[in-house]
Amino acid sequence: MNTTPETTPGFLQKLKLGRQYAKTFPLEKCLMPIFPEHRVITVSRFAIRYMSAVAVFTLTWQIALGGQLGPAVATGLFACSLPLQGLWWLGKRSVTPLPSALLTWFYEIREKFNQAGIAIRPVKATPTYQALAELLKRAFKQLDRSFIDGI
């Protein structure tokens, strides 16, 4: 009998999962009204690219104008935390089990793969958003766009 509690990923692991999820999730316009991932991924990529420069600029600008060090550092830390917030949200979302409506759609897409004669790995556990992202990415490459009608 296994008595060890189910472990949840730590903060750094969620950041890694978020980065992987951002790479996997298809950024298709037809998915934008359904999933917030497109916006979060876009903003996170922007924040990763530019927020460290914004933090340094803000810090030096506030200090150069005679501002207090405390608020300047707080503003810089906040700017640097924005990419981490996006990646953390994506990491948390990636391990979240699918709700029933998306779960039904997940299995409908898998059935379309079977009907098309394309081999697909069996589902081993409760499907998560990461599994859906992988399935959608593959579906956009290998299936016609009729699978989108299911949602």
Q: Mind listing the pLDDT tens digit for each residue in 40-52?
A: 999 999 999 999 9
Do 53 and 105 have their domain in common?
no
pTM assigned to the model: 0.83
Nearest to 56 by CA among 76, 41, 72, 26: 76
Domains held by the chain: number? 2
Predicted pLDDT of residue 3: 42
Handedness of CA 28, 30, 34, 40 (dihedral sign): positive
Quote the domain boundaries for residue 56. 9-95
Do 85 and 103 have their domain in common?
no
Do 117 and 80 have their domain in common?
no
Do 88 and 129 have their domain in common?
no
Instruction: Report the amino acid identity of residue 73.
Output: V
Q: Does residue 2 fall inside a structural domain?
A: no
